[in-house]
Amino acid sequence: MMISIDEFTEIMDDIAHELPDEFYRDLNGGILILPDRKLSPYAKAADLWVLGTYVHSSSMGRLIEIYYGSFCELFAGSSRERLIEKMRETLYHEFTHHMESLAGEKMLEEKFEAVKAAAKEAQFKIEKIDVTEPGKPFHIGTKHPLTITIEEISRVFKSMGFSLAEGPEVETVFNNFDALNAGPNHPARDWTDTFYINDEILLRTQTSPVQVRTLLKQKPPIRVFAPGRCFRCDTPDATHSPMFHQVEGLVVDEGITMADLKGVLDSFAKQMFGSEVRTKFRPHHFPFTEPSAEMDVSCFKCGGKGCRVCKGSGWIEILGCGMVHPNVLKVGGVDTEKYTGFAFGMGVERIAMLKYGIDDIRLMYENDMRFIEQFK
């Protein structure tokens, strides 16, 4: 007569305790005693029963299933000793599958680690660095002459108490012309001189619109300078470029006179070109200043004696300036009975060309390192 399932479970538990702990590594589902009887898929009749199965799946993990019903079919009439012997044999057999599975995974892991190590070694060979080889030269860049010039101009005006002001390169026609007292028939407004985006928007032709924006948002006293890019419809040649740089200056306060303008610009010239430089002012006309002037400096190459740079005159024109026109001040809501001011503007390229002896403005935009590296 076959033993009960409870006694069967106790005997199987005793057999399981005979095995070392190592056999149970990763057997997270344990040993299950099932009452079922399981017929082999290869059985042609009810004559081939499955006593145990080793299961390894992602959902169930690793476990051993023992079928009590199958044992009943095969060993119901056998002795107790024969039954226990077959139970032990079945359990050991399933544990063999478990150990083989672990060993196979270990082999795969070892193989994977070996492949990774080989790949790393191959990469090391490709990226091998010979510390005895001479190092590669490190190329040190330099600032562009225009950057150097703008920084030097900025340093001078900041030392005199000016603040930096900025404005957009895409401007309104009002700020670029109307607010600066340039009437509708002014030649600079022609489409052959100015890059228009539409009837109301353009690329600024000067940095003077920054003056207008400053007057609209800031009350006197005002003391600002504004470096930036400008654009005009010029054909590139040795002295002209459709894109260039200017530095604009504006001072508005009570009691400002032409003498203040001359004092500031004379100090600028001496700091920029040397203390021995002399300045002179020639009458000129600009729509946004009245009176207006152009400032010349004594040639810093020949000391005023006359040379190729100054074309024999001993003087070099570097900027335009004048007292701010009352119409411009009124745009910003400034009381022209109380406040006066002066403004000036200079071309950065011109100053850089004069200072460094550059004879062609196009050199500054060709990005030729042989040229730029001269300014280290």
Domains in the chain with CATH codes: 5-126 (3.30.2010.20), 145-375 (3.30.930.10)
- DSSP label at 269? H
Give me the pLDDT at residue 108, please. Answer: 57
- Among 15-24, 71-80, 239-248, where is mean pLDDT lowest? 15-24
Give me the pLDDT at residue 92, please. Answer: 87
For the segment 128-132, the average pLDDT, to the nearest whole number, is: 75
Give me the pLDDT at residue 356, please. Answer: 87
β-bridge mates for residue 231, sequence order: 243
Q: How far is CA 103 from the centre of its chain?
A: 51
Residue ranges in 64-204 assigned as alpha helix (H) = 68-75, 80-126, 145-159, 173-176
Q: How far apart are CA 106 and CA 123, in angstroms?
A: 25
Structure tokens given for 12: 């199987």
Residue-wise pLDDT for 84-129, tens only, equals 888 988 888 888 888 888 777 666 566 667 667 766 776 777 777 7
Q: How far apart are CA 354 and CA 350, in angstroms?
A: 6
- The better pLDDT of the pair 82, 340 is held by 340
Residue 58: band (very low, low, confident or very high) from pLDDT cuts 50, 70, 90: confident
For the segment 316-340, the average pLDDT, to the nearest whole number, is: 94
Structure tokens given for 246: 């200017």
For the segment 291-308, the average pLDDT, to the nearest whole number, is: 84
Residues 294, 300, 304, 307, CA torsion sign: negative
Residue-wise pLDDT for 350-366, tens only, equals 999 888 888 899 999 99
For the segment 13-40, the average pLDDT, to the nearest whole number, is: 86
Cβ proximity of 220 and 252 under 8 Å:
yes
Residue-wise pLDDT for 166-210, tens only, equals 999 999 999 999 999 998 889 999 999 999 999 999 999 999 999
